[in-house]
Copies of this chain bind each other. A is one copy, B any other.
Amino acid sequence: MTVAGKETPRERYRAQLRAEIKERAWEQIAAAGASGLSLNAIAKQMGMSGPALYRYFASRDELISELIRDAYRSLADTVRTAAASGADLAGLGHALRAWALDDPQRYFLVYGTPVPGYHAPDDVTEIASEIMESLLDAAQSGGTAADTPDDARLEAHLAEHRRWAADHPASPAALRRALLFWTRLHGILSLELAGQFTGMGLDPAELYENELRHLTR
């Protein structure tokens, strides 16, 4: 029964409980923000004592780091899946927006206000590059339209400052499109998720589609 590398019942139980702890953690973050996350509160909600959680996470910081990692991973998977299925930037944009709206606080864990002093786990930078690669893939294949003279200067700069895309054969125009995709859509999404459009009477989705149209022109 026990194949080499197969997990034991105990390991299965462990993994399951770790998952449930993270589940409750996300609920708490959704309810009170990341700064309101409390190990004791999670334990209480799961019907066990506080110290019990230390069997599964070494500290509160480790739990938060794990959540941040998962958030990055989830976004990278979403974007990669879309890119792999041949989506253009508009397709990626729709996938990104759906992902963001699905869990705003998860979005903010990746792109939100940084807490001075806190340092994100090292491995997220790798996942972040993975995200950029997917953007570059989509930006490279789609959008062959002529560049306006307005863009020449930025493309020249990017052609000489592309450490972030050193391993990718994207053209300067593709570099520019990928970056604008990122900054423009993030601008709308973060304002929308923060409720800044509330009461203005307009539909953020229209703004979003407008940007996607420009980016895939």
**A74-93 to B contact mask, C-beta < 8 Å, 1/0:** 00000000000000000000
How far is B183's CA from A188's CA once the two chains are assembled, in angstroms? 5
Return the chain B residue nearest A33 by Cβ.
B115
Shortest CB–CB separation between residue A146 and chain B, in angstroms? Answer: 13
Q: Is the CB of B200 within 8 A of A115?
A: no
Q: Is the CB of B203 within 8 A of A113?
A: no
Interface flag for A169 (CB, 8 Å): no
Interface flag for A206 (CB, 8 Å): yes
Shortest CB–CB separation between residue A208 and chain B, in angstroms? Answer: 9
Shortest CB–CB separation between residue A66 and chain B, in angstroms? Answer: 19
Question: Which residues does chain B contribute within 8 Å of A150, judged by CB atoms?
Answer: 210, 213-214, 217
Return the chain B residue nearest A166 by Cβ.
B201
Return the chain B residue nearest A30 by Cβ.
B116
Question: Which residues does chain B contribute within 8 Å of A211, judged by CB atoms?
Answer: 183
**A136-172 to B contact mask, C-beta < 8 Å, 1/0:** 0000000000001011011001100111100000000
How far is B35's CA from A35's CA once the two chains are assembled, in angstroms? 7
Among B164, B183, B201, contact of A201 (Cβ-Cβ < 8 Å): B164
Shortest CB–CB separation between residue A171 and chain B, in angstroms? Answer: 16
Q: Is the CB of B162 within 8 A of A201?
A: yes
Interface flag for A15 (CB, 8 Å): no
Interface flag for A18 (CB, 8 Å): no
Question: Which residues does chain B contribute within 8 Å of A209, judged by CB atoms?
Answer: 153-154
Among B148, B186, B202, B213, contact of A157 (Cβ-Cβ < 8 Å): B202
Stretch at the interface among A4-12, A39-47, A95-103, A190-198: A190-198
Return the chain B residue nearest A109 by Cβ.
B113
Q: Which residues of A contact B (CB under 8 A)?
A: 30-33, 35-36, 105, 108, 111-117, 125, 128, 148, 150-151, 153-154, 157-158, 161-164, 176, 179-180, 182-188, 190-191, 193-196, 199-203, 206-207, 209-211, 213-214, 217
Top 8 closest pairs, chain A to chain B, by CB: A187-B187, A163-B201, A164-B200, A112-B113, A35-B35, A183-B187, A154-B210, A108-B113
